[in-house]
Structure 1
Amino acid sequence: MSQGFDHLVRRLRLRHLELLLALADARTMRAAASRLHLSQPAISKMLAEAEDALGARLFERSPQGVLPTPAGAAAVHRARVALGELAHARDEVQAIHRGASAVLRVGAFSVTAAVPAAVVQLRQRLPGAVVHIHEGRVNELIQRLLDGDLDCVFGALTTETLTSERLSLLQSEALLEDRLCVLAASDNPLVRRRRLRWTDLREAAWVAPPRQTLVRQAFMGAFLNEGLDPPVPVIEAISSITIGAVLRLDRSLLCAVRFEHARDEVARGGVKRLSGLPEVALPPLGLFTRRGEVPATPVVQAFAREIRKAGARAG
């Protein structure tokens, strides 16, 4: 480390990093002081110390509150990552003290066959590994990754993500091609047909996820490409448990899902995928990690290898 960095470490304390986050989130000195249980003069003194240590003005003050400068926004981001990593270090040390060999925090969308397969294989290779799977929307999970709350995220490599300003902070690798699939109960008459077009399914009773999802947009596009108005779903749901239950209870329903969901649902039985439909591509699925000078931990590298193998098997 450089002499300048050593000087910074001696002057900047963890409490200064907490202050940057409190100011960025609360946007007023009074609210930040309340959050940190300090007086406003103490907050002002700490902020001056942080700005002096980093050599830049971090917040603009006004009667309306405080707003991060560009330098301040960068400092806040790094402070959030540093404190997230410190919390992870605490959790990992405690887990290892209790007998774990490593801790992995994975973000993923709610239904994926690749992640469970990779986790099982990882634990066979590292029996003491503890894995925390956090489910949610990929954009939100990526932000948690950048904030230091997660070690990696498995999700769609969308155009929005790949053109985002955040991309420079991310390392991404495409692992699985994805496509739109249609599921039905095993005894639905359409399952026996080998050649179908989207026009054949226009009048069906559909289950589909909400409009803002990639799957729903691809579903609508499939019909629009045939010159048809997309069907309005009779059931709108995103939960795999709900989707699987209604398909098995009502043989008239069809459901639009991504390939990863289809694989998982078909493996559970009672549901099959309609064949012969024109293919509708979805953005590929891949693994996101933080880009940085520090290499990924061995457990993250091992999980990435298992995800690649799961992707190769699916391909």
Structure 2
Amino acid sequence: MTPSLNSIMSRLHVKQLRLLIALDEHGSLLGAAKQVALTQPGASKALQEIETTFGTSLFTRTNRGLEPNDAGRSVIRYARLIQTDLAHLREEIIGIMSGEGGRVAVGTIMGAVPLLTTAISRVIADHPKLSIEIVEDTSAALLGQLDSGRLDLAICRTTVSTTPYLYESATFVEETLAVIASTQHPFAYARQLSLKDLVDYRWVVYRANMPMRLLLEREFHEADLRFPVHLLETTSAFATLSLLQENPTLVALVSTDVAKFCTGYGFTTTLPLPITSRSEPYELVSRKGVPDSPAARLLREALLNPPR
């Protein structure tokens, strides 16, 4: 029977987590013991205590040394996450004690990347010692990372969640959409286009059931056109840009902010195709009841109150 969470928390020690990581790196009890300043018998006893804490063996003894089993690999993965979190905690405490700096982890969906990077640039100009982690993913994935405490803030949409009441959210930007393509695309210099002109081209899109994908499907339906079958699906702005550069016949639906960024630097062109459907606005989301850290407050202020 797996021990309770309270039992694990009361019995597990940080030095034991260090031992697990060292065992994974060295593959031997002797090497791991030296790394964490234990004797070999002390390391052996500590490993037994760890396995007792979790109620299962974590390593297989082989001729080559100790190899983690499935449970061991899982525990080691979380040991590394805890080590990383403690390092981040140390950074934040140093920032608080010094009166500046600190750390914030923020997530964003692809379309809001330019908005986020603009806000971050303003914040670090005034607070150069601030550390910021940026995660780009889908709304559902970002909400999951908020739930687990991996993120402090996220620019996404709570409408994809079955439990939107778990979050504090502020709607702050209406998203508008544009179609982009390589500057070598056959329609790169067209003055006017309709969706029918692009029906036979391959599209780079978000995967099925995501808001931007549903909007594009609606555009095709309202134009009485068959939705393309052979798609390239990605949630990555860089993957989208790279695909357009590699294949000049592709087109992609992105936010207007992403389109302006890519076109402004000459990476792509924005095709003269009006998108009439409206996308859901961006929300700045955090966990309900969890106060912002000083660093998160700075970033929240920069996002919600940009200079005019």
Same fold, TM-score > 0.5, yes or no: yes
| Distance in 2 between residues matched to 1:296 and 1:238, nearest whole Å | 28
Instruction: Return the alpha-carbon distance in structure 2 between the equivalents of residues 263 and 37 of structure 1.
Output: 57
2:244–2:250 contact (8 Å) kept in structure 1? yes
Kindly state the Cα deviation for residue 199 of structure 1 after the two structures are TM-superposed: 2.1
Is contact 2:147-2:287 (8 Å) kept? yes
Letter in 2 for 1:215: M
Query: Which residue of structure 1 aligns with residue 279 of structure 2?
Result: 282
Give, in whole Å, the separation in 1 of the partners of 2:118 and 2:214.
28
Q: CA RMSD in A?
A: 3.4
* Cα separation, 1, equivalents of 2:107 and 2:269: 28
2:24 aligns with: none
With the length of structure 2 as denominator, give the TM-score of the two structures.
0.66
Secondary structure, counterpart of 2:291 in structure 1: coil
Q: What secondary structure is seen at the aligned counterpart in 1 of 2:284?
A: strand
CA distance in 1, matches of 2:82, 2:144: 14
Could you tell me which amino acid in structure 2 is paired with residue 104 of structure 1?
A: V
Partners of 2:256 and 2:49 lie apart in 1 by 49
One-letter code aligned to 2:294: P
Separation of aligned partners in 2, 1:152 and 1:16: 31
Say if 2:137 and 2:236, in contact at 8 Å, map to a contact too. Answer: no
Pair 1:239-2:239 in alignment: no
* CA distance in 2: counterparts of 1:299 and 1:288, whole angstroms: 15
Contact 1:187–1:251 (8 Å) recurs in 2: yes
Cα distance in 1, alignment partners of residues 224 and 212 from structure 2 = 19
Output one character per residue of 1:111-155: Cα deviation in whole Å (capped at 9) or x when no partner: 611111111111112111111112322222212212322211111
Q: Which residue of structure 2 aligns with residue 44 of structure 1?
A: none
* Residue-pair matches, total: 239
SS in 1 for 2:131: strand
Aligned residue type for 2:103 = V
Shift of 1:34: 9.4
In 2 relative to 1, CA 189–297 (structure 1 residues): closer, same or farther, beyond 3 Å? same
Q: Is the 8 A contact 1:85 1:149 kept in 2?
A: no
* Structure-1 residue corresponding to 2:130: 129
Q: CA deviation at 1:283?
A: 1.3
2:136 and 2:236 in contact (8 A); partners too = no
Shift in alpha-carbon separation, 1:240–1:18, aligned structure 2, 3 A: same
Q: Report what 2:205 is aligned to.
A: 208
User: What are the Cα deviations for residues 158-215 of structure 1, in whole angstroms up to 9, with x where unaligned?
Assistant: 3x33xx32x2221101111113321012243434334332222222232323224322
Q: For residues 121 and 155 of structure 1, what CA distance do their matches in structure 2 show?
A: 21
CA distance in 2, matches of 1:260, 1:16: 49
Contact residue 105 and residue 152 of structure 2 kept, 8 A:
yes
Worse overlay, 84-93 or 100-109 = 84-93
| Structure 1, unpaired ranges of 5+ | 1-13, 20-32, 41-83
Aligned residue type for 2:118 = A
Aligned residue identity for 1:108 = T
In the superposition, relative to structure 1, how do residues 35 and 146 fare at CA in structure 2: closer, same or farther (>3 Å)? farther
Give the partner amino acid of 2:131: V
Does residue 105 (structure 1) correspond to residue 101 (structure 2)? The answer is no
Structure 1 residues 18, 221: closer, same or farther in 2, change over 3 A?
farther
